[in-house]
Amino acid sequence: LKQDSQGADAPTLLAVEAATDEPVGLLLLFRGEEEPGTVRVGYMLAETAWGKGFATEIVAGLVNWSKRAIETDPDGLGKGIRCQKGGVGHDNPASARILEKCGFRKAEQPEASPDETMFELIFQ
């Protein structure tokens, strides 16, 4: 992942294919003031990248990075991260499967809006 913007509270990371260095998607992160300790996750892939495992690799990489940051840098990059959440449109079951494969579960209050379901990963 290459960092595309320097916003501390809402970085956007560019995902590139290692073999070609071509962009395949974006990973968006942001912390909401209404949910301290929660990082919202969003991702978008180029249609040509669908079905090739890139989304799973991107989300799994974020989860692994977060776990390491919490363990090794609790006062820096990992400071305050307790939960990651991602909303998935009801018409996008593939994205829901990706989040579940990476350890996310439906949130206790899973409806983020009438059109999407919220998933969360709580770090211990």
pLDDT tens-digit readout, 18-51: 999 999 999 988 876 777 788 889 999 999 999 9
Instruction: Report how far apart, in Å, the C-alpha atoms of 61 and of each of 55, 65, 67, 90, 117 are.
Output: 10, 6, 10, 24, 22
CB 27 within 8 A of CB 40: no
> What is this structure's pTM?
0.82
CB 121 within 8 A of CB 103: yes
pLDDT tens-digit readout, 111-122: 667 888 999 999
Rg value, the chain, Cα: 14
Specify the pLDDT at position 58.
Answer: 92
Q: How far apart are CA 22 and CA 103, in angstroms?
A: 28
Specify the pLDDT at position 80.
Answer: 80
Q: Is 81 a residue whose pLDDT tops 60? A: yes
